């Protein structure tokens, strides 16, 4: 038996096979997804050296090879921007790390628009805790000259989305709308191999993920929802437990596989959320919906929100459908005006 048979399909094989499901596919989306895999491998290699970069950075900004030391989130951003530019598949992009969007020069420009958070959970970098990259892909509207409006699109228009988790292993998860599939990086061969296919989020919430220290700033419905979910433990068996890492993408990935509800409501004093609609909430909402879950800002699905700014923030509840719908009901039942 060959070793490849033990591992199963590679990311490239899977992407090419999936291309057949898209009637208007011309191969550019497949090439783009494959290049995102390449960017993920490059960033993963740097993440594995993060502690060393930290030490070198602190002692004079030069590593043992005499190279200038950059911060990891800057490395991840520059890597993603460069790989996407050179892919020949992207017309414009926007990054959580960049103030404005980037238009790709005409000679390199392709048909797609990519928005991404190059390194989510950066406060976890220097303590060796899992972090990740999040991305989402739109098809550029035909004949459109690139402008801010090229980027400010509803999540409902996405053609693909996904993320890469740099954890105990490096895992790339993506969907182009049919299924959600997970690939694990085999460090010895440098290939991503399919390790979970057609992931469906469990229907029951068994994990609850939220930063409970924010409770003084929560809208009224949030505590009511959390109390309701915790009350499921009043019986003889514990049904729900808490898990919160503080890297949204990693919290999301665990919840997707194990059945967890993630909440980051708007701050009721400022009326603002923390997480970014374009780079964080939309891609994860896209994955959640394809996997049979739901993502909402409490009033409407995240994917139906119309962005008005590049770095727009919003509240989010994402996870098993029934409990996201329960949260939406609680938003209606406990309006702020009654407090």
**133 SS3 class:** strand
Helix (H) or strand (E) holding 139: strand 131-139
Q: Is 122 in the site for ligand AFP (CB under 6 A)?
A: yes
Query: Hey, which residues does 192 pair with through a beta bridge?
Result: 185
φ, ψ dihedrals at 182, nearest 5°: -115, 140
CA distance 298 to 306: 15
Closest approach of ligand AFP to the CB of residue 78, in Å: 16
Which residue of 120, 191, 289, 328 would you call a contact of ligand AFP, by CB under 6 A?
120
Q: Kindly identify the residues of this chain, within the stretch 280-319, that bind ligand AFP according to CB under 6 A.
A: none
Nearer to ligand AFP, 180 or 318 (CB): 318
Minimum separation from the CB atom of position 246 to ligand AFP (A): 5
# chain residues binding ligand AFP, by CB under 6 A: 10
Is residue 275 involved in binding ligand AFP (CB under 6 A)? yes
Measured between alpha carbons, how far is 330 from 328 in angstroms, rounded to an integer?
Answer: 5
Measure Cα distances from 303 to 203, 281, 289 in Å. Answer: 20, 8, 9
Residue 73 and residue 299: Cα distance in Å, rounded?
Answer: 33
Burial label, 64 (beta-carbon count in 10 A; 0-12, 13-18, 19+):
exposed
Interface with ligand AFP, residue 22, by CB under 6 A = no
Report the residue from 19, 246, 292, 322 that binds ligand AFP according to the rule CB under 6 A.
246
Read off the tokens for 118: 């190059």
| Binding region for ligand AFP (CB under 6 A) out of 78-86, 199-207, 217-225, 244-252 | 244-252
Residue 123 binds ligand AFP (CB under 6 A): yes
Instruction: For ligand AFP, give the closer residue by CB, 120 or 181.
Output: 120
Using the rule CB under 6 A, give the single segment among 117-125, 164-172, 189-197, 226-234 that binds ligand AFP: 117-125
Q: Which tokens belong to 333?
A: 């039942």
Structure tokens at 91: 């017309």
Kind and range of the H or E run holding 330: helix 321-333
Interface with ligand AFP, residue 256, by CB under 6 A: no
Instruction: Give min distance, CB of 40 to ligand AFP, in A.
Output: 17
Site for ligand AFP in 154-213 (CB under 6 A): 211
In the complex, which residues of this chain contact ligand AFP (CB under 6 A)? Answer: 120-123, 211, 246-248, 274-275
């Amino acid at each position: 038996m060959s070793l490849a048979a033990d591992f199963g399909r590679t990311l490239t094989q899977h992407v090419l096979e999936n291309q057949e499901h898209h009637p208007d596919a011309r191969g550019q989306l497949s090439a783009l997804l494959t290049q995102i895999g390449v960017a993920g491998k490059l960033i993963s290699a740097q993440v594995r050296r993060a502690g060393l970069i930290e030490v070198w950075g602190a002692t004079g900004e030069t590593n043992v090879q005499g190279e200038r030391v950059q911060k990891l989130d800057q490395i991840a951003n520059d890597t993603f921007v460069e790989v996407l530019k050179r892919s020949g598949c992207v017309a414009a992009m926007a990054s959580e790390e960049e103030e404005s969007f980037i238009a790709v020069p005409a000679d390199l420009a392709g048909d797609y628009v990519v928005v991404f958070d190059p390194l989510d959970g950066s406060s976890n970098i220097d303590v060796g805790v899992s972090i990740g990259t999040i991305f989402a892909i739109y098809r550029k509207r035909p004949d459109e000259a690139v402008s801010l409006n090229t980027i400010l699109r509803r999540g409902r228009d996405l053609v693909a989305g996904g993320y890469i988790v740099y954890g105990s292993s490096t895992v790339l998860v993506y969907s182009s709308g049919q299924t959600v599939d997970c690939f694990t990086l085999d460090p010895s061969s440098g290939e991503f191999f399919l390790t979970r296919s057609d992931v469906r989020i469990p229907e029951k919430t068994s994990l609850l993920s939220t930063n409970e220290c924010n409770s003084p700033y929560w809208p009224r419905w949030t505590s009511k929802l959390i109390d309701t979910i915790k009350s499921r433990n009043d019986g003889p068996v514990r049904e729900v437990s808490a898990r919160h890492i503080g890297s949204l993408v990693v919290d999301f990935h665990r919840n997707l596989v194990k059945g967890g509800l993630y909440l980051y409501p708007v701050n009721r004093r400022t009326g603002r959320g923390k997480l970014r609609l374009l780079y964080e909430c939309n891609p994860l909402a896209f994955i959640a919906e394809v996997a049979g879950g739901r993502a909402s800002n409490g009033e409407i699905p995240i994917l139906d929100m119309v962005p008005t700014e590049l770095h727009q923030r919003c509240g989010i509840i994402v996870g098993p459908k029934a409990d996201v719908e329960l949260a939406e009901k609680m938003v209606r039942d406990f309006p702020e005006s009654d407090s």
